[in-house]
Structures are given as C-alpha cells and as structure tokens.
Amino acid sequence: MDPNSPILFFDSGVGGLSVLAPTRLLLPNAPVVYAADSAGFPYGKRSEAEIASRVPALLGRLVERFQPRLAVIACNTASTIALDHVRSALDLPVVGTVPAIKPAAELSASRVIGVLGTEATVRQPYVDDLAASFAADCTIIRHGSPGLVELAEAKLAGAEISVEAVRAATQPMFDAPGGDRIDTVVLACTHFPLLQEELGQAFPKVSYVDGGPGIARRIAWLTREQPWPQEPAGGIIVYTSADGERPLMSVLARYGLTEVKTL
C-alpha cells in the first residue's frame, strides 16, 4: 500500500464533511480526496434510477483518477440506493452511510424517534429494514427536508442561517401525529450535522444522532494495518461542475481541504 494513497469521500455536496471531520480526528495523516457532485446536487430530488446509475459511474471515474485505498459514500441517499451497485463495480473497500436508527433506539426514552433526511432517503425500504431490526418497539416518524440540505450548503458557503429557517424546515416532523413525543432525531443526511447548533436551538429538548463518528471508526478499522505519511496530510476537493456556489476556502481548510479540482 502506497502511504500516499488517499481515502476518497463522496457526496452530492458538502454534507460529507460531517463524516470527514471525525475521520480526520482518528487519522490525521491520511491523504483525502473529497468529491462533491455539484452537477447532480441535490440527490434528494432525483429518482432512484438516476442515483443508481450516476453514483457508480462517477465513483468509477474518481477511483481511476485518484487510485484511493478506500471509498466512503458519505451520503445517506446515495448509500441507501446505490451502495450495492458501487460495491459490485469497484475493486476496493466501500463504506456506506445509513441512518443511525440503532443508536437512536438505544437512546430514546419516549420510544418515538424522528428520522430527518432527504425525500429520497426517508422513503427507502432500507429505512424500513433498519427500523424493523433495531427499533421494532419504537414509533418512527420520517420527514424529508430538501430545505435543510440547501441551508447546510448555504451555511458552508458563508451565508447567515437563521434558527427560524431551520425550525420551519423541520417543524412538519414534530407536527405529524405523535410528533410531540419525539425525543431523539436521527440526522439521516450528512448535511444535517452541519446545522446541529441551529437544530439544537430550534428544538432544545431533543437529542440528535448521526452516523459520522461510527463511520470514522469503521474507516480506521479497515485501514488499521496500512501505512500513512509521517506528517498530517492535506486534501483535495473535487467538484463535478465548475459552476455553482461553493464553500469558502477558509472553511474547507478547517477540514484539511486546500486544493480544488474539477472532474
């Protein structure tokens, strides 16, 4: 294994930074390529067929170009739809991101859990399977919020985000039958932990759970015997489109991403 072989993170936008951040804490010397499918954003409004064909094709091109040691689909929507397709197409380990329903069920006292994701993620049978396996005694209330995805992207681009806007994009989940008993919310979109401060202010009596730290531990375990550079490594962010709003470089630098490329 070449010590400079990177870990490839893939998302529709900047949401996967919430997975990259805990990975950086565990593996500070790991070279990183972070790919944001800006040309396809947002995935939550795309059909399952589009995502199932688009994601493996893009990851194939990225793997060919950057020769990573491992790929991370840092996107719940892409993972719940295309993870099996990607694993069939690529000859390297692939880590997916799925809604953290199991830890939410372990935490919930009221046994009413909110699953907050994209419209595409919350309707997937994969979510049904997770709920049946790990939260059979819980009521699961799902809400797809494309508005929150766009608010997270805007926040990383430097815009001021109000608590009121975050509350309005999330409130329908709490207004659903039984929603007033929700005590734990699964952030089933990697964008949403980027808004955890605003969510905490909007709904302060709720606990929030996301899969980022668990995914980071999985990445560390899969690469546990592999060599890394001797010093902390930098990172590249790759966009699939040259257009569109992007986070400030000063923001990206906090995640170790200092170079920008276009696929």
What HEC string does 156-192 produce?
HCCCCCCHHHHHHHHHHHHHCCCHHHCCEEEEECCCH
- Distance set, CA 183 to CA 128, 137, 204 (Å): 20, 15, 10
pLDDT in tens, 19-68: 999 999 999 999 999 999 999 988 888 899 999 999 999 999 999 999 99
For 229, phi then psi, to 5°, come to: -60, 155
Q: Give the chain's domains with CATH numbers.
A: 7-97+213-262 (3.40.50.1860), 101-210 (3.40.50.1860)
The DSSP bridge partners found for residue 186 are 115, 209
Neighbours of 88 (CB within 10 A): 9
Per the prediction, the chain carries an average pLDDT of: 94
* Residue 168 confidence (pLDDT): 97
Residues of the chain with pLDDT under 70: 244-245
Which pLDDT score, from 0 to 100, does residue 96 have? 96
How high is the pLDDT of residue 47? Answer: 92
Is the bond preceding residue 177 a cis peptide, omega within 30 degrees? no
Rg (CA), the chain: 18
Provide the annotated active-site residues.
Answer: 75, 189
- Position 245 scores a pLDDT of 65
Q: Which two tokens stand for residue 29?
A: 């010397």
Name the phi and psi angles at 166, rounded to 5.
-65, -40
The phi and psi torsions of 63 (rounded to 5 degrees) equal -65, -40
